[in-house]
Structure 1
Amino acid sequence: MDAMLVAVSLLDVWIHFDSEERLRMACALLAALSLVLRRRLPLATFLLALPAALVGDAVLATLIALYTLASLSRRRVLLALCALAFAACDITWWSWPSPEFADLSDSSDLLTVTYSLATAVAPVFLGQLVQTGRELSLRLSEISEAREHERRLLAQSVLAKERAQLAREMHDVVSHQVSLIAVRAGVLQVGTRDPEAREAAATIRRLSVQTLDELRHMVGVLRASGSRPTELTPQPSLADLQRLVDTSGIEATLRTDLPDDLPATVQRAVYRTVQEALTNVRKHAPGATATIHVHHADDTVHATVTNASPTRPALPLPGAHHGLVGLRQRAELLGGTVTSGPTADGGYELRLRLPVQDQDTP
């Protein structure tokens, strides 16, 4: 832009070129070349360009310098003085080097003065308008950022209230009921003489205590809203799969063939998939056996959980049917898939497929 303005100003000098007027030519060239300083030194640029308006009619560079000064300066008195100085130079240039005062009673002189004043005021008004528009745009941007920040704060406040309410409900209702289950299971374990009933009571009590620990941790995480990130629970890995199968209460067979350096996200996804599949077997296929096969091939982890047909009717248990949906969402986040469906012998099969490359999701 500066180069273009200098070129246009030099063209203006060339149009008004007069080889006999070296002083006018020097002032005009100085005004045109001084425009390279207009952004850093706007007042100095205007003062260097002003003599061109006094000694000649190549005033484009002076007008550009005056506009630049008006667009960058907030000093209205200085701008008014600069405009008057330009108008005075523009009025007297034709009588240079013996300037004469204009006779305002003469219509031609009055017209000349009016034209010179209008020519001086126009770049000042335009520069101030551009400066006001620039400041208004900046202010609108600041207002938008402030509103966005306020919206985020409001969303965080609402989320914090919801998390606090959820934490209270989990602590007051769910934890209380699970505690009662653990206590009643402990009483049954001590009071019964039936070995099977005692083992079942011990399993119920152990699972209840484990659930209580996880609930307490989750309540603490929910109440720590706004603080540093915290893991929801101690995250399981493939090393915990055998214990999961052994404590599932299902006759299940586990076969694994996986490397030890799999990403933690993949290990958690496999664990949660097997956990959900075994839970569904307990709920919907009582008495059925299950087979879990987890292996690695072609940079992909495959996990398959297959159960036979149930041997007794399933009990009506409450459920929101969100388990498989959650597994599919988890797999999609990691670039994998989850498929499921009935088998030919009346059982059910759940299949997980996960790529193991570039798994950086926390």
Structure 2
Amino acid sequence: MRGLRASRARVPAALADAGLVAVATGDAWLAVWDTSWSAVALAGLACAALTLRRHLPFVVVLLTVPGTLVADLVVAPLAALFALAERSRDRRLLAACAVLVAAASAAPWPWHDPESRDRTWTLIQFVYTLAGTAAPVLLGQLVQVRRDLSQRLAEIEEAREHERALHAQAVLARERAQLAREMHDVVSHQVSLIAVQAGALQVAAKDTEARQAARTIRSLSVSTLDELRNMVTLLRASGGRATELTPQPTLADIRRLVATSGIDAELTGRLPDAISTPAQRAIYRTVQEALTNVRKHAPGAGATVELWRDGDDVGVTITNSRPTRPSLPLPGSQQGLVGLRERSEILHGTFSSGPTSDGGYRVSTRIPAQPK
């Protein structure tokens, strides 16, 4: 199956169109070779229109209807219905096109006033033809769903890889932080005691060799303390992302957060750098959580991050547009939004979130610029 998909991907679009038009032309020739020139022209139009099925599938369906009405065409109308069903999500339109093609195929031509017996057979033929036209519609919808599912699975796998990388970095950061604390609290303390005891021995010793040995021990202890401090600094700085031992994010980090969010996001507005550190951290976490939710629950949507100031209050509003692709039902506990609301209330601010009128979502936080 994988080899078949790879071979289909390697076939040029122009060659595939030419092959389909050739098959449709052969089918049309068998249907119209002994009819009028008008029927031949309409059948030819239906076959030629298949070259536009990738860009104008609905128009192609309409162009195949006249040829289907005057001749018993099979390939052209079914291929047009499949192309439309593969690209359109409007099921009412698909049903209407399937009925239209079935009616054109079943209707007698040239038109005359049929007897009751003929009407019955026309109705029976319409029902059977409708079943035939439903097949490419269902197949096209299946191909569309499979394509969407493959895309979502790829996105989910990418998100999982990202989460695994973040988890590995967090574990590594915690281990380095614990090692740094142990080195600082235990090893450095003990080496400091050695240096103090060596200094006391250097002062109290009467023997020249003993004083020289104490001086050497004290010098080595001080040098070891300097090396330990450097190692602790390196461990604290090598965690990758922010940990409890590294500086917390501020307003200066929001631009980089928006740029690396993985979605089409725009940052507008500006806030003064003089606002309190807790307020800066709350605004950063609000933007981070909102963009994460857009990536998870609104695939293909764009977002706008607006920083603003209103009197003594500052805030941020994140608004995303309507998703362009259907999203799979991913698990979510809403704890991220609850945490943002609690953080805002602790800082005597307000938090709001909810859907917009155009199918998007909006998250907003208002916080006093300085603590009350």
* Superposed displacement of residue 153, structure 1: 2.5
1:212 has 2:231 as partner: no
Aligned partner of 1:61 in structure 2 is 76
Structure 1 gap segments, 5+ residues each: 230-362
Aligned partner of 1:114 in structure 2 is 127
* Superposed displacement of residue 17, structure 1: 4.3
Pairs within 5 Å for 1:260-339: none
Aligned partner of 1:14 in structure 2 is 29
Q: Is the 8 A contact 1:103 1:109 kept in 2?
A: no
Cα distance in 2 between the residues matched to 1:228 and 1:108: 74
Aligned partner of 1:168 in structure 2 is 181
SS of 2:151's equivalent in the other structure is helix
TM-score under structure 2 length normalisation: 0.55
In structure 2, which of residues 43, 50, 53 is the aligned counterpart of residue 28 of structure 1? Answer: 43
Q: Is the 8 A contact 1:52 1:59 kept in 2?
A: no
Aligned partner of 1:135 in structure 2 is 148
RMSD: 2.6
Moved more, 123-132 or 25-34: 25-34
Pairs within 5 Å for 1:39-188: 39-92=54-107, 95-98=108-111, 103=116, 108-188=121-201
Cα gap change, 1:197 to 1:52, in 2 (>3 Å): farther
* Superposed displacement of residue 227, structure 1: 4.4
* Superposed displacement of residue 83, structure 1: 0.7
Cα gap change, 1:194 to 1:15, in 2 (>3 Å): farther
Q: Is the 8 A contact 2:49 2:60 kept in 1?
A: yes
- Report percent identity of matched pairs: 57
Cα distance in 1 between the residues matched to 2:167 and 2:237: 17
CA displacement, residues 299-337 of structure 1 (integer Å, 9 cap, x when unaligned): xxxxxxxxxxxxxxxxxxxxxxxxxxxxxxxxxxxxxxx
Cα gap change, 1:107 to 1:214, in 2 (>3 Å): same
Letter in 1 for 2:44: L
Count of residues in Structure 1 that have an aligned counterpart in Structure 2:
227
Letter in 1 for 2:160: R
Q: Is the 8 A contact 2:201 2:214 kept in 1?
A: yes
TM-score under structure 1 length normalisation: 0.56
CA displacement, residues 245-273 of structure 1 (integer Å, 9 cap, x when unaligned): xxxxxxxxxxxxxxxxxxxxxxxxxxxxx
Structure number with greater Rg is 1
Letter in 2 for 1:29: G
In structure 1, which of residues 215, 224, 248 is the aligned counterpart of residue 237 of structure 2? Answer: 224
Moved more, 5-14 or 112-121: 5-14
SS of 2:189's equivalent in the other structure is helix
Aligned partner of 1:316 in structure 2 is none
Cα gap change, 1:54 to 1:185, in 2 (>3 Å): same
Moved more, 132-141 or 193-202: 193-202
Pairs within 5 Å for 1:331-350: none
Aligned partner of 1:344 in structure 2 is none
SS of 2:33's equivalent in the other structure is coil
* Superposed displacement of residue 44, structure 1: 1.4
Structure 2 gap segments, 5+ residues each: 1-15, 243-372
Cα distance in 2 between the residues matched to 1:104 and 1:72: 40
Q: Is the 8 A contact 2:176 2:239 kept in 1?
A: no
Moved more, 64-73 or 218-227: 218-227
Letter in 2 for 1:214: E
CA displacement, residues 218-250 of structure 1 (integer Å, 9 cap, x when unaligned): 222323354479xxxxxxxxxxxxxxxxxxxxx
Q: Is the 8 A contact 1:104 1:110 kept in 2?
A: no
Letter in 2 for 1:3: A
* Superposed displacement of residue 65, structure 1: 0.8
Cα gap change, 1:198 to 1:12, in 2 (>3 Å): farther
Cα distance in 2 between the residues matched to 1:211 and 1:33: 84
SS of 2:55's equivalent in the other structure is coil
SS of 1:31's equivalent in the other structure is helix
